[in-house]
Amino acid sequence: MKRNKFRWLTLLLITQFVIASFLPVYAEENVENKPIQIYVNDVQIELSTEPISKNGTILIPLRSLLESLNMNVQWNSEEQKINIYKNNLEVELKINSSTALVNGEEVKLSHPPILEKSIVYIPLRFISEVVGGTASWDGVNKVINIYIPVEEKPQQTSIVKNGKTIYTNEEVVVKDDVVFIPVNKLSEIIGIKANVSQDLKSVSIVKDGDSLVLEAGSNLAVINQVTVETDFKPFVHNNKLFVPSQFVGDLFGFTVTWNDETRQLFFYSRASMFDLEIIKKYPAVTNIPQLVPEENVMPIEGRRLLVSDNPETLDNLSFPNYEAVLWSDRVQSDEDKIDYRTYAYHVNKTGNTIKLGINITNYSDTNEIEIVDLRGSGKESSDGWSIIDVGVKIAELSISDKLPAIDLNNTVVGKGESITLDYFFANHEHLISFLHEFSVEKKSGTGPLDYELRIVACKDKSSDLSRIHGPLLKANDVHPRGTWNYSEIYAELPVYKVGDKDYSYSISNGFTDHWFSAENSFEQDKGTRDNKGHFGVKYRVKIPIENKDEKPRKLLIRLNPRGGLYAGAVRTPGGDYIITPMNAFYEVSNMMEYTVEEDKDELEFVIMHAGGGHLPVSINILTIYTLEDVIKK
């Protein structure tokens, strides 16, 4: 930094000397009374007003010059301060101050910036030479010539994610083997939330509880609130903030490589598939299950469930407009708080990347509402194996209560206001699914809750989703859609008697435990559909046990799909586990072993089915006998 400071001081001394040499010519030509022309790289720029001369220094209208140099400017009227940004350069000027800050270093000016008739004037030579160019004055023709080195132009490249090309002709800049990419494009590729400041000076990135803050022109990065020094500096080009793809990708679970010959940028997800232990599956055949008794099944009220899975495929027929509501919950209630679980599952076949998310509008004119304890996650799949990398992963996060917390900049929704709770991007031919839990509470005021919660989508990736209030897409198939006053279901199976060889009962069978029907949903007139597979639902199972063997017995509890490929996650007394994908009928998962100590006992567990799976699933119990037991029998 000392070297940079010395360079700038030397540059300013030379600048002031050159300006002084121009003064006689400037005076002789009486420039103040004649129009001055300014050229940047031989292209004349239009001025909002004429340049002026103060104490022998040429001052030019700030906005005219900066726009010609593609620089970003921020004006603080209270502090009379000007901040200027371009790539790795940051300049701070103050009205009537002869001291400037250049990348944090103080530099003396030959003349301070001034404010005249609401127009800010800045020293011509200081600004032109700070950005690495030169300026010259032609006193005879009254022309100022500014030459700025041409920046390295972005290269056109293809983006490949997990072996599949998802973008072509995208802009990247390669500097010293570091591939810089616009941060908004990077957020679409690796599924991060990138909040770029309005002046493009900084970006805050979050994903699944991890955070990163980068600033243009700075080699410091803040990772999970810890500041580290890096070998790169983000920069702004064409009103886009470019960040290092390898560094950001590595932090959020991707290996990023660049092929200089083919001009391709490759992203490979290396995130571990699951955090929970996976239950092994085995080839086996179970007996035909009975249906869980209808009188033993009931919903558990307390948290609403909003499901958006219809139309599941979003193409230009089902999604013909620029934007749409996929499903919504219109609420008018005397309650002060309503808890939610929202679940969305859609495939993008529009031909372009789309943006999906959750928004809410407060229609009350007497109270404010607040979003409390917002947690959630979204997963995207491009390889057709969605039951694994989308369905099971979301079920795992939900069953283990590890949905990441989401920090909203503003949690309060005022009268008549709308906000976005969360959003995601889905590339063409990609599946996107997201699940959230939160509460809507009355923050202040009087009167009933009066709001609408929506799952929305837009074909413009930069769109503000909070403003989308319609239209509602029509349901076009049998996939689930609706809002129910509960998100959990409870079933007590018949008593299992130790030694019974024929104990099997199917759950989520669409008949005896069909509480999530279209008829039970709110707003049936909007096109609700059955949720027979209980997607987004936690299914609690209780099994009473009788043991007349007068000694402890070990039981094996198994799961067997009865409708097609099935997977999910389960919480048992021994821990939380992943139910690996199984084919129907001839594969089983040994969910757990359980020892019955008394003559009567109870076993409870909770299952969440993976999106993309096929129901029903059978619960089968066997008694495990030792060799000694078999010999005795």
- DSSP H helical ranges for 381-446: 386, 393-399
Among 474, 505, 535, identify where a domain stops: 474
Number of helices and strands in the chain (H, E): 8, 48
For residue 245, the model assigns a pLDDT of 95
CA angle 67, 68, 72 (to 5 degrees): 35
Q: What is the per-residue burial (b if ≥16 Cβ within 10 Å, else e) of 355-364? A: bbbbbbbbbb
**Hey, what are 80's tokens?**
């009379």
- CB-based contacts of 385, cutoff 8 Å, min separation 6: none
For residue 132, the model assigns a pLDDT of 59
- Residue ranges in the chain modelled with pLDDT below 50: 1-31
Tens-place pLDDT, residues 290-308 = 999 999 999 999 999 999 9
User: Are 51 and 139 part of one and the same domain?
Assistant: yes
CA angle 551, 557, 563 (to 5 degrees): 155
Count of domains observed in the chain: 4
Q: From CA 390, how far away is CA 432, in angstroms rounded?
A: 8
For residue 133, the model assigns a pLDDT of 65
Of the candidates 489, 623, 491, 627, the one whose C-alpha atom is nearest the C-alpha of residue 545 is 623
Q: Concatenated DSSP letters for 313-347?
A: EE-TTTS-SSEEEEEEEEEEES-SEEEEEEEEEEE
Q: Count CB neighbours of 552 within 10 A.
A: 11
Among 411, 443, 474, identify where a domain stops: 474
Among 441, 474, 507, identify where a domain stops: 474
For residue 13, the model assigns a pLDDT of 40
Beta bridge partners of 180: 173, 244
For residue 131, the model assigns a pLDDT of 60
Residue 412 · residue 468 · CB < 8 Å:
no
Measured in degrees and rounded to the nearest 5, phi and psi for residue 475 equal -70, 140
CATH number assigned to the domain comprising residue 61: 3.30.457.10
Q: Is 479 domain-assigned?
A: no
Q: From CA 103, how far away is CA 101, in angstroms rounded?
A: 6
Q: What is the 3-state secondary structure (H, E, C) of 194-227?
A: EEECCCCCEEEEEECCEEEEEECCCCEEEECCEE
Give the rounded distance of the alpha carbon of 423 from its chain centre. 6
Q: Count CB neighbours of 170 within 10 A.
A: 17
Q: From CA 160, how far away is CA 166, in angstroms rounded?
A: 6
Q: From CA 289, how far away is CA 615, in angstroms rounded?
A: 13
Residue 357 · residue 363 · CB < 8 Å:
no
How do strand 313-314 and strand 412-413 relate by DSSP bridges? Answer: unpaired
For residue 7, the model assigns a pLDDT of 42
For residue 384, the model assigns a pLDDT of 64
Of the candidates 407, 423, 414, the one whose C-alpha atom is nearest the C-alpha of residue 357 is 423
User: Are 359 and 450 part of one and the same domain?
Assistant: yes
Single-letter residue type at 469: H
**Hey, what are 342's tokens?**
């929202």
Of the candidates 109, 90, 103, 102, the one whose C-alpha atom is nearest the C-alpha of residue 15 is 109
Q: Is 331 domain-assigned?
A: yes
Residue 168 · residue 264 · CB < 8 Å:
no
For residue 375, the model assigns a pLDDT of 97
Residue 131 · residue 148 · CB < 8 Å:
yes
User: Are 39 and 181 part of one and the same domain?
Assistant: no
The answer to whether the pTM exceeds 0.85 is: no
Single-letter residue type at 345: Y
User: Are 230 and 105 part of one and the same domain?
Assistant: no
User: Are 231 and 325 part of one and the same domain?
Assistant: no
Q: Is 102 domain-assigned?
A: yes
For residue 559, the model assigns a pLDDT of 96
User: Are 138 and 15 part of one and the same domain?
Assistant: yes
For residue 29, the model assigns a pLDDT of 39
User: Are 457 and 493 part of one and the same domain?
Assistant: no
Q: Is 60 domain-assigned?
A: yes
Q: Is 510 domain-assigned?
A: yes
User: Are 502 and 612 part of one and the same domain?
Assistant: yes
Full domain range(s) for residue 98: 2-147
Q: From CA 199, how far away is CA 202, in angstroms rounded?
A: 8
Alpha-carbon torsion 42, 46, 50, 54, what sign? negative
Q: Is 77 domain-assigned?
A: yes
Measured in degrees and rounded to the nearest 5, phi and psi for residue 417 equal -95, 160
User: Are 576 and 615 part of one and the same domain?
Assistant: yes
User: Are 189 and 332 part of one and the same domain?
Assistant: no
| CA-based R_g, the chain, Å | 32
Q: Is 523 domain-assigned?
A: yes
Of the candidates 211, 210, 231, 208, the one whose C-alpha atom is nearest the C-alpha of residue 219 is 231
User: Are 141 and 166 part of one and the same domain?
Assistant: no
For residue 64, the model assigns a pLDDT of 73
For residue 585, the model assigns a pLDDT of 92
Residue with tokens 């799961």: 559
Tens-place pLDDT, residues 393-445 = 999 999 999 999 998 989 999 999 999 999 999 988 899 999 999 999 999 99
User: Are 333 and 458 part of one and the same domain?
Assistant: yes
Q: Is 481 domain-assigned?
A: no
Beta bridge partners of 291: 506
For residue 17, the model assigns a pLDDT of 43
Q: From CA 588, how far away is CA 575, in angstroms rounded?
A: 19
